[in-house]
Amino acid sequence: MAMPSMLHDHRPCAVVRGTPVITERRVRANGFRSRSLSVDGGGPPMLMLHGFSDTADTWRPVMRELAARGQQATAVDMPGYGRADRTRPGAMLPQIEGFVAELLERSGPDTILVGNSLGALASLRTAAAVTSELGGVVAISPAGFGHSRLIRYAEHAGLATNLLRVPFVPNRLMEAMVGKAFARMACGNHALADAEAVKAYAEQFRQRADVRRILGAGPAIIREIKAAADTLTLDCPVLAIWGSRDRLTLVGGSEELMDTLPDSELVVLPGFGHCPQLEVPDGVAELLLNFSSRTAAAPAR
């Protein structure tokens, strides 16, 4: 599907030497302290959620594109990741969804939830649960649909297992290994991966304990995801975006999502992977702006 044309009805935001300003703040929701990244602008608010083991920094490339077109957006570290507080004992999805729901209440009407992977599933489930009016949901490679063999392996063996088998790995080498593996799994073409976002991801893994804590939670959250993905009922517009070379949630999973949410739209990005925001941020930004424009013009459901 061709990318939508650029929209011109958004006011410009602050820039420094041609680069849009991304503001970092501390936030608190559902009892969790966290960090937000935001850009100023017009249009309906966009609240952006990252995937499993990722951080809000994954959205920096798209946020710069949105800001250059005058669109406001905010990305947050979800509980357990980045600079957010760790999750409490027990199921993780309800904690994340409670966090998102509280932020959504503050964001105002017509907010568009934008999520990738785990963040996409959290966006869909939160949208199904809240009573506030939403502009819509953009789900990029949502977890719970079309899981690959790698995800099924991770459910049973744990993502951290192979890394922790190595007796001694210097911290810098650990970060480099994690960053390289992340770029290859997240992208259809790892050479296109945004270096700043990959670096921010890898910096979470400074010690073996970080690998055990973050990646070691993989099996539990995968089981929660599998139990939660097919129980969705939404009353707001939904756009699903999938990379044709997604190695984690295979593009065939889009059929499952369309069956679950038959009124959804689907865009498949040829050649891109699980995190297209890292490979083609301008294209993802165009899709978001186009979706925002169409949902704003559509009659209320």
pLDDT in tens, 62-98: 999 999 999 999 999 999 999 999 999 999 999 999 9
User: Residue range 151-165: average pLDDT?
Assistant: 59
Give 154's contacts (C-beta < 8 A, 6+ positions apart).
218, 219, 222
Domain span including residue 33: 15-148+233-297
Q: The tokens of 235 are what?
A: 């009353």
* Least-confidence region, from 108-117, 119-128, 151-160: 151-160
Confidence of residue 205 (pLDDT cuts 50, 70, 90): confident
Q: Are 241 and 1 in contact (CB under 8 A)?
A: no
Q: Is residue 205 domain-resident?
A: no
Confidence of residue 162 (pLDDT cuts 50, 70, 90): low
The Cα 105–Cα 30 span in angstroms is 12
Q: Is residue 183 domain-resident?
A: no
- Per-residue pLDDT reduced to its tens digit, 98-109: 999 999 999 988
Give 98's contacts (C-beta < 8 A, 6+ positions apart).
29, 30
Nearest to 1 by CA among 246, 278, 244, 191: 244
The Cα 284–Cα 260 span in angstroms is 23
Q: Is residue 156 domain-resident?
A: no
Give percent above pLDDT 70 in the chain: 85
pLDDT at 276 over 80: yes
CATH code at position 45: 3.40.50.1820
Give percent above pLDDT 90 in the chain: 61
Q: Is residue 5 domain-resident?
A: no
User: Residue range 249-264: average pLDDT?
Assistant: 90
Q: Is residue 91 domain-resident?
A: yes
pLDDT given for residue 208 in this prediction: 78
Confidence of residue 234 (pLDDT cuts 50, 70, 90): confident
Between residues 150 and 192, which one has the greater pLDDT? 192
pLDDT given for residue 266 in this prediction: 96
Q: Are 137 and 48 in contact (CB under 8 A)?
A: no
pLDDT given for residue 132 in this prediction: 74
Instruction: State the alpha helices, DSSP H only, in 72-111.
Output: 93-107
**Beta pairing partners, 71:** 42
Q: What single-letter DSSP state applies at residue 243?
A: E
pLDDT given for residue 235 in this prediction: 84
Q: Is residue 67 domain-resident?
A: yes
Q: Is residue 225 domain-resident?
A: no
Q: Considering the chain, what is the average pLDDT of its residues? A: 86
CA distances for 121 relative to 100, 143, 168, 221, angstroms: 12, 6, 36, 12
Q: What's the total number of domains in the chain?
A: 1
pLDDT at 14 over 60: no
User: From edge to edge, which strands make up the β-sheet containing 23-29?
Assistant: 23-29, 32-39, 73-76, 46-49, 111-116, 134-140, 238-243, 265-269
Confidence of residue 291 (pLDDT cuts 50, 70, 90): very high
